[in-house]
Chains A and B, each alone.
Chain A
């Protein structure tokens, strides 16, 4: 999946997978923080794949 995204020009930092058990709240917080930081670190995305709404005349 990450390869596919990279192929499309989307950084791998934009996709994260993790496995957390329901008792691991600390891990959840850690991962949530890391994911956010990693996304912030690569800065704003050039949203070229974002579908824009059709312009109505």
Chain B
């Protein structure tokens, strides 16, 4: 350590450091244009000149490259130093009259016009560029010539391929002399361009070291070896020098790791279709973008900060068009004949959000063939987009996008529904691109021996929807077929269950027990608070004056110990903190660092390992919510940090140790509903070793599936159903309860008590989890003359005829189907999802049995999503006639003597046509059971249509908000067999995370009733979304409210609503928050 004097202050630095480095550490500013911490100093610009007294005399040295020595005395800001610098700036200004940086410096030194002749150079010959180029391992440029002719140049002024076009020189150039354009023009023989951010689909650049996207797990940066200059030249490695924890090792290589596993789950995803191969879309035009680019543009964290612009001139668009089915449902121009399932919905969403961003004046038009919104609540969204948000829906497939000469606009020519050729001009055209499987994934599948479908998705069967053709390998997500988030989440849970079924025996065989440190009792002790302030390298300390915060914290009441850490979250710091807590006998801890959302559990762990209850802890956020957002205001940031630390100390002093209640889990499950979904769930639970009660209200298993003939993939439903029924009946772990009603349900997660009425006999069963699979039933139509003639039937009745091989079917010369009977209309504003596929499939079957017959399908939109589209195509090829009708002009059916007459307005001819058929099939809606009693028993919600509401529409599709209760099958929403089975397995996956445990622990931060003060008003019981409070049935406080710790999520709603102040939220109690508030007084 070297000690010397800097502006009279005694300072210390390391051997080998230069004056400027020590000055920076002590916050003393020395101007420079040519120094950079990654480079050896060169003393080129001379601006950093300081005055040095060596004991005998004073001299001028450059601070950037003058090494420090013991006892020296340095003055950085004397009159002479100032005068000297002024002269240097004056000369620089004379050379570079137009460079903003120099102009600013000149202003600072009070120079208006230099006394020397003005030149208009831009280079100040600081040499940063040549030195960084050398460091990059290239030396493509150097200072050439001598004296007045000196300049930065390549050898012989020729563009060189030694230059890697990395742009480091342009990045460091202080005056803007070197730019990316200039590199391309004069220096490199390669091409310098920005590295496009994959996340922002090329709309923004990224660095060679980057975090792929803000939510990435793990959220650590990676080096892109393809662009990192080190891997090209061996130079640079600046990152390794700068990293304060030496985390960067450029010599790391890919390793081949061999794992021995029992099953494999494939979740490799998809790639968005690349429209650049389709030249008629003119994707190269800046105002033609893909839907993925639109997603990023609409995102608040996106390249335009959520501001909607057209890219050609960054003006706000007034008219936007979406073109559907780009790269989907198209055999001629790309090979993807399937429907990508998700594009209709995302286009509507984008249009609605765009209008929300830009206001009602924005004109949004979606050009489509069939609007496919068969998901839960999607039809309502579509309806609102059309009728409330005012999005235009135009049924037309646009062939070409033409740029308009001399304008930023794009012209679309399209045919209207009435056959007119129209043109429209738009500022922005969004291509709704489909999903496809990338070539390397096809190769991987071949390597693994997995069969693929014609669309290159993973081949699976209806009754094993996540099993690939190779035993032990499962698939989920878009690899299994184009699908949206809820379906992907269902699939992934299902795949986890499928993998667990075959590995059930080895569950818990490799778990390690954690060592438990006995907890120290602190009750009655005076608070002894320990405060740890994190520097987070320079992330916090670079802005907030950490030593000042530490000093301040020491002055606060009950604070025993304060220290700062370089990185509080590092392993060694954690161990150190733990030993300090024990050594100093601290009993409350505050950590002022990043955010509790990511790091609270880590520090709580540290407390636990030091024998302290983990709730004697408070974390305050001086990074994400302070140093990072106030970086240009260090003083105010420091003051904010002080306030935050004081508030945290005030709160932690009020903290009490909290207990996490332990509850035993009854490892038995109950499945309600004996249809396909219920049986699949019961079987999967039983296969994994859990005793399961399967409850069915009728006298047989199978549910609605007993009525079905074939699946969309052509498998026989009856055969597979029979197999499943016999497996369920014979399973040792399944107790079957037929003819059974649920009488009552008591208890909660892990400990339910359900009373059954089985064949007239009451029985109480205990179970830890419940799966609701109560299914749905077909709607009985009241229109289209149903019931007036036996030739007018429903889809399920037609299936029965097929199953029975009804001889009447052979005689049919003409048959018709009417779609959306009872669906997608006011009162039942949802799509029943399965009927289009079902009718198309049955139409094909009719054609197959009798190729000469005429088959008509009267539809509103054909919704054969995913690879079901092939059936639609096949039906058309077989000559099935599709006639569209609209809701306002439904077909008119009348029964005649020899046939059935249907009058419908043909959408191409635009006039009524009459069809005379021998059989009319009505594709009826699917209606939920909407069993309100059951919903009340399990405290689970239903939507206005009567379907159960899952915990989260996207991320929790097979479980309820109420813990321990799960759902699957058509009770959730209409769905085909494969999706029902997948959801059953998903529900099981969620249930097993509970059932596989012996105990569950409630969180410590939950609400508790002080029953003496409870007025039994019942507000808490009514208001809680998780049904945690209820009235005690017995004991001293019978009739008063009590809160079940197992169900409480600690939201505090009941606490705020309690009129008598009887409810306390542990960890966020009124006192604790009040003490934080009281600290405001100090702040003002």
**Touch test A–B (CB under 8 Å):** yes
A-side interface residues toward B, CB under 8 Å?
23-27, 29, 50-51
Q: How far is A30 from B71 in the complex, measured between Cα atoms in Å?
A: 52
Selected A-B contacts with CB under 8 Å, 13 pairs: A23-B300, A23-B301, A24-B300, A25-B300, A25-B301, A26-B300, A26-B301, A26-B305, A26-B306, A27-B300, A29-B629, A50-B1081, A51-B1081
Question: Could you tell me the distance between the alpha carbons of A29 and B305 in the complex, rounded to whole angstroms?
Answer: 12
Residues of B within 8 A of A (CB): 300-301, 305-306, 629, 1081
CB contacts (< 8 Å) of A23 on chain B: these are: 300-301
Q: How far is the CA of A25 from the CA of B305 in the complex (A)?
A: 10
Total A-B contacts with CB atoms under 8 angstroms apart: 13
**In the complex, how many angstroms separate the beta carbon of A38 from the nearest chain B beta carbon?**
18
- Name the A residues within 8 Å of B301 (CB-CB): 23, 25-26
Question: Shortest CB–CB separation between residue B597 and chain A, in angstroms?
Answer: 9
Max count, chain A CB within 10 A of own CB: residue among B300, B301, B305, B1081: B300
Chain A residues contacting B305 (CB-CB under 8 Å) are 26
A25 to B625, CA, bound (A): 11
Would you list the 9 A-B pairs with minimal beta carbon distance, nearest first?
Answer: A26-B300, A24-B300, A26-B305, A26-B306, A27-B300, A25-B301, A25-B300, A23-B300, A23-B301
A18 to B351, CA, bound (A): 25
Besides the known contacts A26-B300, A26-B306, 7 further A-B residue pairs in the complex with CB atoms under 8 A apart? A23-B301, A25-B300, A25-B301, A26-B301, A26-B305, A27-B300, A29-B629
B306 vs chain A, min Cβ distance (A): 6
> Complex Cα distance A24/B353, Å?
14
Minimum CB–CB distance for A54 against chain B, Å: 13
Chain A residues whose C-beta falls within 8 Å of the C-beta of B629 in the assembled complex: 29
A24 to B305, CA, bound (A): 10
Which B residues touch A25, using CB under 8 A? 300-301
A23→B213 CA distance, assembly (Å): 13
Residues of B within 8 A of A24 (CB): 300
Give the chain B neighbours of A29 by CB distance below 8 A. Answer: 629
State how many angstroms separate the Cβ of A48 from the closest Cβ of chain B.
Answer: 14
How far, in angstroms, from A25 to B301 measured CA to CA in the complex?
7
- Minimal Cβ-Cβ distance residue in A for B300: A26
For the complex formed, measure the closest distance between the CB of B309 and the CB atoms of chain A, giving whole angstroms.
15
Of all chain A residues, the one with the shortest Cβ separation from B301 is A25
Residues of A within 8 A of B306 (CB): 26
Quick one: closest B residue to A30, CB to CB?
B300
Which B residue sits closest to A24, measured CB to CB? B300
Kindly provide the distance from the CB of B64 to the nearest chain A CB, expressed in whole angstroms: 37
Contacting residues, chain A, for B300 (C-beta < 8 A): 23-27
Q: Nearest chain-B residue to A52 (Cβ)?
A: B1081
A51 to B306, CA, bound (A): 44
Q: Can you name the residue of chain A whose Cβ is closest to the Cβ of B302? A: A26
User: Distance in Å from the Cβ of A36 to the closest Cβ of chain B?
Assistant: 12
Which chain A positions have C-beta within 8 A of B1081? 50-51
Query: Closest approach, in angstroms, between the C-beta of B24 and any C-beta of chain A?
Result: 30
Among residues of B, the one whose C-beta sits closest to the C-beta of A27 is B300
* A52, chain B: closest CB distance, angstroms: 10
Please report the C-alpha to C-alpha distance between residue A24 and residue B1057 in the assembled complex, in whole angstroms.
28
CB distance from A39 to the nearest CB of B (A): 13
Task: Output the least CB separation between A34 and chain B (Å).
Answer: 15
User: Which residues of chain B are within 8 angstroms of A51 by Cβ–Cβ distance?
Assistant: 1081
| Chain A min CB distance to B214 (Å) | 9
Cα A50 to Cα B306 in complex, Å, equals 41
Min CB–CB distance A50 → chain B (angstroms) = 8
> Closest approach, in angstroms, between the C-beta of B631 and any C-beta of chain A?
14
Q: Once bound together, how far apart are the Cα atoms of A27 and B299, in whole Å?
A: 11
A50 cross-chain contacts in B, Cβ below 8 A: 1081
Distance in Å from the Cβ of A19 to the closest Cβ of chain B? 14
A26 proximity list for chain B (CB < 8 A): 300-301, 305-306
Determine the distance from Cα of A26 to Cα of B629 in the docked complex, in whole angstroms.
Answer: 12
